[in-house]
Amino acid sequence: MITPVILCGGSGTRLWPLSRKSYPKQFVPLVGENTLFQGSALRMQGADFAAPVVITNSDFRFIVVEQLQEVGIDPGAILIEPEGRNTAPAVLSAALHLQKEDPEAIMLVAPSDHVVPDVAAFQAAVERGLEAVEQGQLVTFGIAPTRPETGYGYLELSEASDGGPVALRRFVEKPDAVRAEEMLAAGDFLWNAGIFLFKVKDIVAAFEAYAAELMAPVAAAVDGAESDLGFCRLAPEPWAKADDISIDYAVMERASNLSVVPFTGAWSDLGGWDAVWREGERDARGVMTSGDATSIDCSNSMLRSENDAVEVVGIGLDNVITVAMNDAVLVASMDRAQDVKKAVDALKANKAAQATTFPKDHRPWGWFESLVIGDRFQVKRIHVHPGASLSLQSHHHRAEHWIVVSGTAEVTIDEKVQLVSENQSVFIPLGAVHRMRNPGKVPMVLIEVQTGAYLGEDDIIRYEDVYARGQGAKG
């Protein structure tokens, strides 16, 4: 039995504005109907696979559960990182967690944001790696390159492979264009996919041998973990002492028992909008459109609208990326797709909220989005899942007016509890202790009008919360 371990904490800045720190690319349906995270989880389902272990952060924990449930997957442990420390501490924490049950367990470690259309081919590659795993090898997977890519690291094989595992000669950092052409022509280099297969006891032994400094803080974080509504929160103090380092640097580039399984099927890490364009459906002129987008005499371009109220029209464009949302628009040359992260850095320097904050804010009870923000007022649309409830809370600086547009809300204001139906409204005075719940079996949608001197999300005092979020904007 193989236990999938899904790494789910990245921010994906090269796919801004659709991917942001508050809601990164793995949770977005970039290619196809499922999100990248759902696709990763579905790829590791079947008789040979146990329930997945997911490593994520506190803000994403309910999104992880919700998206797995949407595709019929019951997760195993969900480990909550107190802060991002890169892939080495994350993988080690999962290994130490699994070691408590079975040191012989086999882990399949995979990122949550890759696209692999041929699931059968992927699982066949995993099966080919099992023989090496049984011999104590650490197995990594290399992708047969299809172009001289400068955005990926490479794996140099020690010998030709017939599809089975072979020894790795060395890791190669991201090359320049000339070197990438040379490696493609040589035929013995593969893209480094960052996917690994090994036994728990073998990867723990590798950490002890090559990254011993990580063992004590990560082990203490796992041993001191606390259960929280079914989530496993790693202890924050020892976790903060772990080095911020990737598993490649910490272990894989030093290990002598590393084998590589080549994978010749289609694969992409969707590391930029140019990759999304390559993976998507394009017309005869190489144009990919999504949402309310229209192409007139364009070629080799992508036009994407993420807002029903925004029409994107391209005329005479060539080699251009256009992505429009309700709060930000990206227009870039396809050749500069990897530089989108520079835009995020520039926006951060200007303290623009669009750099990191997604317009739709997902919460365990549903989501909300700001429709209009003005001086001393804000208008939101709030969507509450059936049976879900917001926390019992109050605000220091704002009053609220709720208008139900779909479904029925059970509203608590101080000592009064009432049902508010479609087209009805209710006023929540400043300082009143209040709560909203959806008692029905269909989503409830309302419009919230806030008025006051300060309208920040951190102006929340929670008294009761079924999601145990504590204080703060998200808790």
Q: Which of 197, 195, 219 is nearest to 207 (CA)?
A: 219
- CATH 2.60.120.10 region(s) of the chain? 360-464
Residue 6 CB: number of other CB atoms within 10 A? 26
CATH 3.40.50.720 describes domain 360-464: no
Contact 302, 282 (CB under 8 A): no
CA distance 33 to 51: 22
Cβ-Cβ contacts under 8 Å for 222 (sequence gap 6 or more):
93, 96, 97, 234, 235
CA distance 116 to 93: 26
Burial of residue 97 (CB within 10 Å: 0-12, 13-18, 19+) is: buried
CA distance 280 to 274: 10
Residue 431 CB: number of other CB atoms within 10 A? 14
Q: Which CATH superfamily is domain 2-263 in?
A: Spore Coat Polysaccharide Biosynthesis Protein SpsA; Chain A (3.90.550.10)
Predicted TM-score of the model (pTM): 0.87
User: Would you give per-residue pLDDT tens digits along the chain (475 residues)?
Assistant: 999 999 998 777 889 999 988 889 999 888 888 999 999 999 999 999 999 999 999 889 889 999 999 999 988 899 999 999 999 999 999 999 999 999 999 999 999 999 999 999 999 999 999 999 999 999 999 998 888 988 888 998 888 777 788 888 888 888 888 988 988 888 888 999 999 999 999 999 999 999 999 999 999 999 999 988 889 999 999 999 999 999 999 999 899 999 999 998 889 888 899 999 998 899 999 999 999 999 999 999 999 999 888 999 999 999 999 999 989 999 999 999 989 999 999 999 999 989 988 888 888 899 999 898 899 999 999 999 999 999 999 999 999 999 999 999 999 999 999 999 999 999 999 999 999 999 999 999 999 999 999 988 889 999 999 888 777 666 5
Task: List the 392-394 sheet strands across, edge first.
Answer: 416-420, 409-413, 434-437, 392-394, 461-464
- CATH 3.90.550.10 region(s) of the chain? 2-263
